Amino acid sequence: MRLITRFELASKSEVELQGLLKEAFNELVRSKPHSPERRNALASIENIQFSLAMSGLVKAP
């Protein structure tokens, strides 16, 4: 999985962000421990959660 940046997420709707969050989570589950794919999935999840929090849709971690 490639890293999804906060810049990319800035123009996404709630539905798009939720869909990306699901995809990133599924990629995390499929990834091997300590792999670049796992690191990118984790970072992407953090970025997506941040974007959702900034738009007031979910609480920040």
Q: What is the largest CA-CA distance in the chain?
A: 33
Residue 14 is assigned to a structural domain of this protein: yes
- For residue 20, what are the domain limits? 6-54
> Which three-class secondary structure state does DSSP give residue 59?
coil
Q: Tell me, what's the pLDDT at 60?
A: 54
As a whole number of Å, the CA-based R_g of the chain is 11
How many domains is the chain partitioned into structurally?
1
> Which three-class secondary structure state does DSSP give residue 53?
helix
Q: Tell me, what's the pLDDT at 3?
A: 98
* CB atoms near residue 4 (< 10 Å): 23
Interval 13-47: pLDDT, tens = 999 999 999 999 999 999 999 999 999 999 999 99
Residue 19 is assigned to a structural domain of this protein: yes
Residue 1 is assigned to a structural domain of this protein: no
Return the C-alpha torsion angle 16, 3, 49, 56, nearest 10: -60
Residue 31 is assigned to a structural domain of this protein: yes
Its pTM stands at 0.87
